[in-house]
Structure 1
Amino acid sequence: MKKIFLALPLIGLSQLVSAQQDAKLIEKAKKIHAKVFTLDTHADTPMRMVGKGFDISKDNTPAPGTATGFDSKIDFPRMKKGGVDGIFFAVYQGQGPRTPEANARVQQMAMTILDSMYAQINRHPEMGKIVTTQEEAMAQEKAGKRSIFIGMENGYQIGNDLSLLQKFYDRGVRYMTLSHSANNDICDSSTDPKGPEFNGLSPFGEKVVTEMNRLGMIIDISHVSDSTVWDLIKLSKAPIVATHSDAWSVLNHPRNLNDDLLRAVAKKGGVVQLNLLSSYIKEAPKNPEREAATAEIRKKYTAGGAMTDEQMKAMRMEMRELNKKYPVPLATVKDAIDHLDHFVKIMGVDHVGIGGDYDGGGYLADCFDISEYENLTIEMVRRGYSEKDLKKIWGDNFFRVMKDVKKVGEKIRSGDMAMR
């Protein structure tokens, strides 16, 4: 009995010491998070700016007990709360018919999304602004303001009109994800149910790569097929990136990148940015009823390409009800950082970053919106990542690629580098 009574205080002391050590680690992580420039390379918030009902200057956190995966997870107040300095907003539209009429509609909608984004962000210069360079972003950070970069998700939005790349670049678009959930006129997707169409890039897609290199626009490989990535590795004069992808070796999912692709992207000087979409991180229990219902809703609203504001609202409402009926256990920050650890193991710390895919399906059990991004840094510090590492992961790696791609464009335009 004496031994038991003597052991109890020792157990309590051990727990106290452990708690104190963890508190110090969290304090250290928070200081690092506040110090480094934090950049997220992919969010789908712009679609919420088309029409009425969303204000980026206000905290759009849903009322307690009403939150779902389909509420907006990003706005200026929550970016500030989460210590996020910059983010790439994606001009996104789902894959639709590849006809002249559909292409015209989608291209007009892309311009509408850009107009809406500029209009809303420009109304709040005291909170943030649209930028295109690291230097602009650093100046914003120094002033305590957020930076919004622009990307484009799904090359479907240029149809087969190469000249649109210049127009979108002139409007601030600095990367383009070549495809989305299905094949388009540029390349094969990793998730088209019909399978490959070109076995990589199409002839038009090769021209797209050449023009993006000339412009200094970053090529994003998230969503594209493995064969497309290999074509890009061979053809592109500039580094390529995956703005929101995960590791196939951690979870075998067609959207994730295998180790050979990771090595090839790193060798080319590119980066892979960690996606925080739960189903790409950790496999959820199979639920055929939910999967069938989800597929039906997506087919109902996305088959025609660009959705109207009313259609988007209706789809979110149906998905909310679906989530209530068939709740899905979410991946955690620890699960997500397992993927990042694998990236670092295969590619090195100079070739990884964060691209959460929030407002496009990304969120975790313990990182539900962008206000909780500090949790990612805390977990990375727990795993031994240094301040130097985190500075690279949170922004410097992607900024390096931005500059490298821009330099390639300048060399091509000056005649110092051949286009092909």
Structure 2
Amino acid sequence: MKYYIIDGHCDSLSHYVNGERTLEDPLDGGHWDIQRARATGIALQFLAAYIETEYKPMMATQRGLQLIEGAHRLIESHREQLFHIQSKNDLYNIPDSKRTGILLSVEGGEILGQNLFMLDIIYRLGVRALGLTWNQRNELGDGVGELNTGSRLTSLGEKVVLRMNELGMLIDVSHLNEEGFWHVIELSKDPIVATHSCSKALCNHPRNLTDQQLLALAKHKGVVGVNFNPGFLNESGVATREDVVRHICHIAEVAGVDAVGLGSDFDGIPEVPKGLEHVGEYCDLLDDLIKVGFSTKDVEKISYHNFRRVLLEVLK
């Protein structure tokens, strides 16, 4: 059976902006390209503008804007294959038989500096999702790498969450520390997402979510996009496609199937699970979900409908 897919996270944009790959076909290398994404049924791809550590803090805004401009250039130069998702109405155009929707996200609130008005600027530039932190501390809060602080969001972080609700932007807590996570749950009237995370009960990594966090996301009508990073899937650091299935099963058991999505982190992870080496192998993963007992309806929720439901609720 052919499934449509919404992938909550990939980092291929940096490769394009840096001139390393065209993202047009598999011969360029990498995990994600337009040709394989189209062939495997990617209806919507979250494309992350990841601000690398070397640009922080002084050059973070400039690097973020460079990546956003690169995303526009990529979409405009492939108009017959890609289109920009910016509104609820745009979501009614997916799945499109000829084009993949691109939802532009920024990974790291450093792009805002210390200025709330920058959120409105990146919104006007077409950004519709923001990861409040990466692993480090920034002006909004602490990332998961700040293990000993126990800090909630800053006052600016609070204002950013509330303004994102007003604008219709998706709040991504993937890299946020646990105290910040609970603070966002308190503040946000809209569903929130962890676009590329896994289960901490199965793999005790700081980037993964506890069962309590999974339950809270579900109660908030949010979604966890299961990450394909072997280090998040298995404490040995080596993983197979079966490990991805294992995390999907656990999250579905704890939080319900409506809380599970897919967030590959392709081109942002150093290794990939055996059997999920690139975007073209997504269909094998979905077939595996049927084999372990998920219904066709459940697989359609996991691969597509859950993220689409949240986006329909959040975007204006």
TM-score (norm 1): 0.71
Structure 2 match to 1:360: 268
Structure 2 match to 1:25: none
Question: Is the alpha carbon distance of 1:55 and 1:138 closer, same or farther for their aligned partners in structure 2, counting shifts above 3 Å?
Answer: farther
Q: Tell me how far apart the structure 1 counterparts of residues 212 and 56 of structure 2 sit (CA, whole Å).
A: 32
Q: How does 1:23-34 map to 2 (within 5 A)?
A: 31=1, 34=2
Check if 1:106 corresponds to 2:60.
Answer: yes
Deviations 1:321-353 (A, max 9, x none): xxxxxxxx6311111111111110111111110
Deviations 1:290-319 (A, max 9, x none): xxxxxxxxxxxxxxxxxxxxxxxxxxxxxx
Structure 2 match to 1:330: 238
Q: How does 1:72-87 map to 2 (within 5 A)?
A: 72-87=30-45
Structure 2 match to 1:270: 222
Check if 1:259 corresponds to 2:211.
Answer: yes
Structure 1 match to 2:160: 208
Deviations 1:369-393 (A, max 9, x none): 1011111101101111112111211
Check if 1:388 corresponds to 2:301.
Answer: no
RMSD: 1.9
Q: Tell me how far apart the structure 1 counterparts of residues 244 and 295 of structure 2 sit (CA, whole Å).
A: 18
Q: Tell me how far apart the structure 1 counterparts of residues 17 and 56 of structure 2 sit (CA, whole Å).
A: 23
Output the amino acid matched with 2:289: M
Structure 1 match to 2:9: 42
Decide whether the 8 Å contact of 2:55 with 2:63 is kept in 1.
no
Question: Is the alpha carbon distance of 1:281 and 1:249 closer, same or farther for their aligned partners in structure 2, counting shifts above 3 Å?
Answer: same
1:98, distance to aligned residue in structure 2 (A): 6.5
Structure 2 match to 1:23: none
Question: Is the alpha carbon distance of 1:363 and 1:82 closer, same or farther for their aligned partners in structure 2, counting shifts above 3 Å?
Answer: farther
Deviations 1:179-226 (A, max 9, x none): 111111111111236x32x61111111111111111111111101111
Identity %: 31
Q: Tell me how far apart the structure 1 counterparts of residues 110 and 54 of structure 2 sit (CA, whole Å).
A: 8
Provide the secondary structure at the position in 2 that maps to 1:85. strand
Structure 1 match to 2:279: 370
Q: Tell me how far apart the structure 2 counterparts of residues 138 and 239 of structure 1 sit (CA, whole Å).
A: 19
Decide whether the 8 Å contact of 2:203 with 2:232 is kept in 1.
yes
Larger radius of gyration: 1
Q: How does 1:230-379 map to 2 (within 5 A)?
A: 230-284=182-236, 330-361=238-269, 363-379=272-288
1:247, distance to aligned residue in structure 2 (A): 0.3
1:134, distance to aligned residue in structure 2 (A): 6.1
1:131, distance to aligned residue in structure 2 (A): 1.9
Q: Tell me how far apart the structure 2 counterparts of residues 393 and 135 of structure 1 sit (CA, whole Å).
A: 22
Larger proportion of helix? 1
Output the amino acid matched with 1:80: R
Provide the secondary structure at the position in 2 that maps to 1:141. coil
Deviations 1:14-53 (A, max 9, x none): xxxxxxxxxxxxxxxxx1xx2x321101001111121424
Q: Tell me how far apart the structure 2 counterparts of residues 115 and 406 of structure 1 sit (CA, whole Å).
A: 21
Deviations 1:233-287 (A, max 9, x none): 1111111110000001111111100011111111111111101111000112xxx
1:144, distance to aligned residue in structure 2 (A): 2.3
Decide whether the 8 Å contact of 1:94 with 1:181 is kept in 2.
no
2:112 paired residue among 141, 150, 158: 158
1:147 paired residue among 101, 114, 121: 101
TM-score (norm 2): 0.94
Q: Tell me how far apart the structure 1 counterparts of residues 106 and 20 of structure 2 sit (CA, whole Å).
A: 23
Any gaps of 5 or more consecutive residues in structure 1? 1-30, 63-71, 285-328, 408-420
Output the amino acid matched with 2:301: K
Q: Tell me how far apart the structure 2 counterparts of residues 373 and 273 of structure 1 sit (CA, whole Å).
A: 14
Decide whether the 8 Å contact of 1:94 with 1:154 is kept in 2.
no
Deviations 1:107-143 (A, max 9, x none): 1221111111211221122222222346535535333
Larger proportion of strand? 2
Decide whether the 8 Å contact of 1:219 with 1:240 is kept in 2.
yes
